[in-house]
Amino acid sequence: MTTTEVSENWAENREDYALRPVPSSYQRWSVPSLFGVMFGITTAMFFFSWGGTLVHAYGTVNLVVGLLVATVIVGALAYLWTSAASRSGLGSDLLTRGAGFGFLGSTVTSLIFAVNSLLFFAFEGSIMANAVMAQWPSVPRWLVYAGAGAVFIPLTWYGLRLVNILMWVTLPVFAVFMALTIWHAAHTPVEAGFWSYRPAAGAGPDAGPPVLQLLAAAFGVAGTIPVAADFGRFIPARRRRLGSFVVGPVFAAVTFLGPTLLGAWLSLRFGETDPGKYLPGVFGVWGVLFVVTTQLRINLSNAYSGSLQFAGFFCRVFGVTPGRHWFVVLTVVLGGALMFGDLYSRLNAVLTFGGVFMLAWIACVVADMTINKRLLRLSPPQFEYRRSRLPALNPVGLGAIAGALVVSVPPAFGLFGPLGMTLAPFVAAAAAFVLVPAIALATKGRYYTVASTAEEVVPGDDLVRCVVCSERHAPADFVSCPFHRGAICSVCCAAERSCRSLCKNTTAQLERTPA
């Protein structure tokens, strides 16, 4: 193994490229491998439970129509994000920095995404815990919740490589048990047919048409869009279109029209929406194994995504860079704490409210990608992520997301009745999409980049050694720092506090040379 490969492997194990772009030399993951990781998300018990909840609330016809519309919208947005991630090697957080939010401003979206990951970690962990408690009701709930969270610390410690291995290793177990579950459900007598099923009570008309209500809940899982980008950044640039299509639209179609619909059918067959309860009832201990194995697959992705966001947040705000894997512990602890809040019992309400924040962020970035960068050309064509080239705060993204939340959060809390709660995610997305180009036009795009005395490092075939951490990375990740008097990588630059952004202050005098 060459020195370059050793350095890249060490950097990947230390941070999993949580805080810097994936270099082209490491963008060698095959499309099937990445789809395997995403398929682990698709096969989560959450979607089976969610499908059961939706069909019992809105009926089969409304469910199918709503999921078809959600597939088109979510799939298209995921394609845009994943394509940009593959082209630049940047994850969702680094993309956001140069898409109108600025270096520190993007910490707002990091928290939104981190909370989204925590919510789904709690949902999936609750299903796992319910399966254990259904089989062994005498086990204390707190002990089950603690175990359902702690098991993910060692599993996600080493990043995407181990996640990919576990996804594929556990796939045969999932396939066998799912086939048995379908066979058993098909031989379970029921009174109502699946395609003709309509709930006795039905959805409340005050909240709007049933399909609209279902879409509002469906957008609560829009967090799969930035997740696709975080995994899609490992797609080689030459396979960008195919990889983005598979990880984006194909993944959305498989998710919404596969496990979600299947979960709706199973819930009508078994008379229960929670697979963590009906699978142990059907298979006993083997049903618990089925649930636990499946949930291990999905919560690996939730813990991984959460750790990426927390790593970026703490680096920029507090200058702390211990490595992504340490933030796995924080993600697991907070996600486990949310399990005790019983959010799982209020699934649709939580998803609809969470969708307001996710769609506001996603719409901001999409508007910058499609309008500001391509049509108006007010935003630089490349996604800048380095601190030395970005303002701390950019009013384009921050103003847009603030305005979107101001007009959408009050109705999401029910201020304008049930219909307002349904419309809140749509209002958030529309307001953000309109405000981004409007603010960019008003400011003439002045806040996307800043003047800096930090010079670019001349590209070459060899990796560059950082003057601070002594690690070697691609030249594009470096600038020549006037404070440290040498080439500094983007992570060390982001964590530096004593320089007081000297490179952005051309009138400042260098008072000392740091050790």
What order of strands is seen across the sheet that includes strand 486-489? 455-456, 478-481, 486-489
Token pair 């016809």 is found at: 61
CB-CB neighbours of 228 under 10 Å: 29
User: What's the full length of the chain, in residues?
Assistant: 515
199 burial type by CB count under 10 A (0-12 exposed, 13-18 middle, 19+ buried)? middle
Least Cα distance to 117 among 334, 276, 373, 306 occurs for 306
C-beta contacts of 320-326 below 8 A and 24+ residues apart = 320/495, 321/19, 321/491, 321/492, 321/494, 321/495, 323/14, 323/15, 323/18, 324/14, 324/15, 324/16, 324/18, 324/19, 324/159, 325/14, 325/16, 325/156, 325/157, 325/158, 325/159
Q: What is the pLDDT of residue 15?
A: 47
User: Token pair for residue 23?
Assistant: 């270099």
Instruction: Report the distance separating Cα 166 and Cα 151, nearest Å.
Output: 13
H runs (alpha helix) in 156-209 = 160-186
Q: Which residues contact 162 (CB under 8 A, 6 or more apart)?
A: 155, 156
Four-residue CA torsion sign, 461, 99, 248, 228: positive
The CA-based dihedral angle spanning residues 11, 225, 24, 313, taken in that order and rounded to the nearest 10 degrees: -40
Helices (H), 187-223: 210-218
464: which DSSP letter?
A: E
- In angstroms, rounded to a whole number, what is the distance separating the alpha carbons of residues 22 and 477? 10
Compute the distance between CA of residue 101 and CA of residue 448 in angstroms, rounded to an integer. 8
Q: Which of 393, 428, 396, 390 is nearest to 409 (CA)?
A: 428
Q: Give the pLDDT of residue 162.
A: 64
- The per-residue pLDDT for 158 is 62
CB 156 within 8 A of CB 323: no
Q: Are strands 472-473 and 455-456 parallel, antiparallel or unpaired?
A: unpaired
Report the DSSP beta bridge partners of residue 481.
486
Q: Which of 127, 161, 156 is nearest to 144 (CA)?
A: 127
> How many C-beta atoms lie closer than 10 Å to residue 370's C-beta?
14
| Cβ contact 26:17 at 8 Å | yes
Res 203: pLDDT: 65
Q: Which residue intervals of 233-377 are DSSP H helices? A: 240-245, 251-257, 259-270, 275-283, 285-318, 324-339, 347-367
Quote the CA–CA distance of 309 and 304 in Å, as a whole number. 9
Per-state percent for the chain, helix, strand, coil, to nearest 5: 70, 5, 25
The structure tokens 């869009």 sit at 225
Predicted structure pTM score = 0.85
**CB distance 224 to 252 below 8 Å:** yes
pLDDT (0 to 100) of residue 510: 40
Separation of alpha carbons 66 and 49, rounded Å:
17
Q: Would you say 244 and 34 are in contact if contact means Cβ atoms under 8 Å apart?
A: no
How do the pLDDT tens digits run along the chain, 515 residues long?
343 443 444 344 444 566 788 887 777 777 777 776 677 678 888 899 999 999 998 999 999 999 999 999 999 999 999 999 888 888 888 899 989 999 889 889 888 888 888 888 888 888 888 899 988 888 888 888 888 877 777 777 665 566 667 667 777 888 888 999 999 999 888 877 888 888 877 666 787 888 898 888 888 888 888 888 888 888 887 888 888 898 889 988 988 999 999 999 999 999 888 998 999 988 899 989 888 888 877 787 788 778 878 877 887 777 766 666 778 888 888 888 888 887 787 777 788 888 899 999 999 999 999 999 999 999 988 888 888 888 889 999 999 999 999 999 999 888 888 898 889 999 999 999 999 999 999 999 888 888 777 788 877 767 888 998 888 888 888 888 888 888 888 888 888 888 888 888 644 434 434 43
Q: How many other CB atoms sit within 10 Å of the CB of residue 285? A: 10
Helix, strand or coil for residue 183?
Answer: helix
